[in-house]
Amino acid sequence: MTGRLKSVALALLAPAIAIVLSILVTTLVIAAVGSSPGEFWSTMFEVPKPRLRVDIVNQTAMIYIAAVAAAIGFRMGLFNIGLEGQYTIASFAAASFAGAAYLGGFANVIASLAVAMLVGAAWSGIAGLLKTTRGVSEVISTIMLNAIAVTLVGYFLNNYGVKEGNTVHTKNLEPSSTLGGFSPFEDRDGEIWALSIVALLLGIGFWVLLNKTRFGFDLRASGQSESAALASGINPKRMILISMMLSGAVAGLIWMPALFGGARNYGTSFQVGLGFLGIAVALLGRNRPVGMLFGALLFAFLSVKSNDLTFGTDVSPSIVQITQGVAVLAVVVTYEVVRRWRTRLEQRAVSRELTGTTAGATS
């Protein structure tokens, strides 16, 4: 086996073990409460109906955007736990701006996306500033900012939103500003939202940024060793602030496909939890553009397909939350184990070459 093949096999080993483990744990949990795991898996592995296939694509897009946002921070060694708050407040701001219809048609969409990115960046920028100027851990400050964002949005919505029966929402988008999408199947099966394309663009953009630009190199260098980065002339504080704000700006886009595709306002249709799913998928995919795509697809598939469970089985759909959580924990553990194993293999190889005999290997 050549070195490259071997490293690919090693890289795939960890996710494979993690998936097997999460399937195992899920099966055990279902069996423990007295339901039938066989029924569960056969329902989950049926080919999804066209409507669900469309849903899976849409969900994959949103989760993927969230994963890219998380990965920008992770590659820099920053934990942006605050994606949840950033996209909540950014979605609300963008929906309000779009609903006010200062601009018409497509210009309104572009301007609203800019608002979402700016607000997301500003919100994460608070955490970035606190870290660079006051040394506050971004983990704690972003957790606090999550809670503040949710209550703040609740306040504005209750006081300035449009009331309709028991629900409150922002002003509806003008028909000229909704983008719709394209229907791969029949019309009743729904549309793949136009802005889902943003996910693809972000994925490509993220790859180019990391691998082809000076900034991407600085980012990865700072993430791996801050002191080495400093020695090669990178300003770590500037990098922290920029990558934190970049992460927040991307987070601002998370819910935009849904807003301009189907929801048309910020209200009960707002989907919470995408931020944490994005963090999980970034971990699952090792912060690599392609890896995260598979992760996002897997998570979207589990979430959407679990809706089928309510018909025909007695397993509740929330079981997939356990599957997802176990998958993340298992994947980070197995990556660590594989990494240690690989280091040991390399150490052995080196010592073999140095001594010329396997007997000299120490480990």
Partner 1 sequence: MSATTATTGRKRTIVERLTTSWLYIGLIGIGVVSFVRIITDTDDLTGAGTIRAAIIATCPILAAALGGLWAERAGVVNIGLEGQMILGTWGAAFFTYHYGPWVGILGAALLGLIGGLLHAVATVTFGVDHIVSGVAINLIGAGAATYLAEAIFPDYEGGGPRQLNGLEAPAQITIPGVSDLANSIADRHWFVVSDIASVVQALTTNISTLSLLIFALVIVSALVLWRTSFGLRLRSCGENPQAAETLGINVYLYKYVAVLVSGALAGIGGGFLALVASSGFSNGQTGGRGYIGLAAMIFGNWRPGGLLAGALTFGYTDSLRLRDTQSVHSLLLLVAIGLLAFAAWRAYKRQVTGALVVAGAGVLVMAWFLLTDSVPREFTVMTPYVTTMFVLALGSQRLRMPAADGKPYRRGSAG
Going by C-alpha positions, the residue among 97, 80, 69, 91 that lies closest to residue 153 is 91
Cα dihedral sign, 88-54-322-199: negative
Count of CB atoms situated within 10 Å of the CB of 362: 7
Residue from 294, 322, 348, 352 touching partner 1 (CB under 8 A): that is 322
Q: What 3-state class would DSSP assign to 361?
A: coil
Residue 33 touches partner 1, criterion: CB under 8 A: yes
Residue 325 touches partner 1, criterion: CB under 8 A: yes
Residue 37 touches partner 1, criterion: CB under 8 A: no
Question: At closest approach, how far in Å is the CB of 143 from partner 1?
Answer: 5
C-beta of residue 348 within 8 angstroms of C-beta of residue 361: yes
Where in 207-236 is the site for partner 1 (CB under 8 A)?
none
Residue from 72, 280, 292, 302 touching partner 1 (CB under 8 A): that is 280
C-beta of residue 264 within 8 angstroms of C-beta of residue 174: no
CA distances (Å), 62 to each of 1, 29, 240, 251, 261, in order? 38, 29, 25, 10, 12
Residue 321 touches partner 1, criterion: CB under 8 A: yes
**Angle, CA of 47, 52 and 54, to the nearest 5°:** 115
> Binding marks (x or -) toward partner 1, 137..176, rule CB under 8 A?
x-xxx-xxx-xx--xx-xx--xx-----------------
Residue from 79, 185, 215, 217 touching partner 1 (CB under 8 A): that is 79
CA distances (Å), 19 to each of 26, 63, 198, 269, in order? 11, 19, 28, 31
Residue 316 touches partner 1, criterion: CB under 8 A: yes
Residue 13 touches partner 1, criterion: CB under 8 A: no
Residue 332 touches partner 1, criterion: CB under 8 A: yes
Interaction site with partner 1 (CB under 8 A): 29, 33, 35, 79, 81, 130, 134-137, 139-141, 143-145, 147-148, 151-152, 154-155, 158-159, 276, 279-280, 283, 315-316, 318-322, 324-326, 328-329, 332-333, 336-337, 340
